[in-house]
Structure 1
Amino acid sequence: MSVLIQKKPSAPMAQTIAIRDHVLSADVSAAEGGEDAGPSPHDLYDAALGACKALTVMWYARKKGIPVDDVRTVIDRDDSGERTGVYRLSARMQVQGTLTDAQVRELESVAQKCPVHKLMTTVTTDITTSLERMP
Structure 2
Amino acid sequence: MAHAKAHIGETPWRTQIVAGGHAITADEPAALGGQGSGPAPYDLLLASLGACTAITLKMYAARKGWPLQALDVELHLTGSPEERRIERKLFVTGLDDEQKARLADIAERTPVTLTLKQGLAIDTRLA
TM-score of the alignment, normalized to the shorter chain, above 0.5? yes
Q: What does residue 89 of structure 1 align with?
A: 86
Q: What does residue 109 of structure 2 align with?
A: 113
Moved over 4 A (4+): none
Secondary structure at the counterpart of residue 59 of structure 1? helix
Q: What does residue 7 of structure 1 align with?
A: 8
**TM-score, with normalisation over the residues of structure 2?**
0.89
Q: Which has the larger radius of gyration?
A: 1
- Whole-Å separation in 2 of the counterparts to 1:126 and 1:100: 39
Q: What does residue 73 of structure 2 align with?
A: 73
Offset at residue 58 of structure 1 (A): 0.4
- Whole-Å separation in 1 of the counterparts to 2:32 and 2:98: 46
- Whole-Å separation in 2 of the counterparts to 1:130 and 1:116: 24
Go from structure 1 to structure 2 and tell me whether the alpha carbon gap of 1:21 and 1:100 turns closer, same or farther (over 3 Å shift). Answer: same
Q: What does residue 41 of structure 2 align with?
A: 41
Q: Amino acid of the residue matched to residue 71 of structure 2? A: V
Aligned pairs, number: 126
Q: Amino acid of the residue matched to residue 29 of structure 1? A: P
Offset at residue 93 of structure 1 (A): 0.8
Go from structure 1 to structure 2 and tell me whether the alpha carbon gap of 1:44 and 1:86 turns closer, same or farther (over 3 Å shift). Answer: same
**TM-score, with normalisation over the residues of structure 1?**
0.85
Offset at residue 8 of structure 1 (A): 5.3
- Whole-Å separation in 2 of the counterparts to 1:20 and 1:76: 25
- Whole-Å separation in 2 of the counterparts to 1:8 and 1:93: 38
Secondary structure at the counterpart of residue 94 of structure 1? strand
Q: What per-residue deviation string (whole Å, max 9, x for no partner) do you get for residues 4-57 of structure 1?
A: 111256x32211111232111111122222111111111111121121111111
- Whole-Å separation in 1 of the counterparts to 2:85 and 2:20: 30
- Whole-Å separation in 2 of the counterparts to 1:24 and 1:68: 30
Q: CA RMSD in A?
A: 1.6
Task: Determine what percentage of the aligned residue pairs are the same residue.
Answer: 31
Unaligned runs of 5+ in 1: none
Secondary structure at the counterpart of residue 130 of structure 1? coil
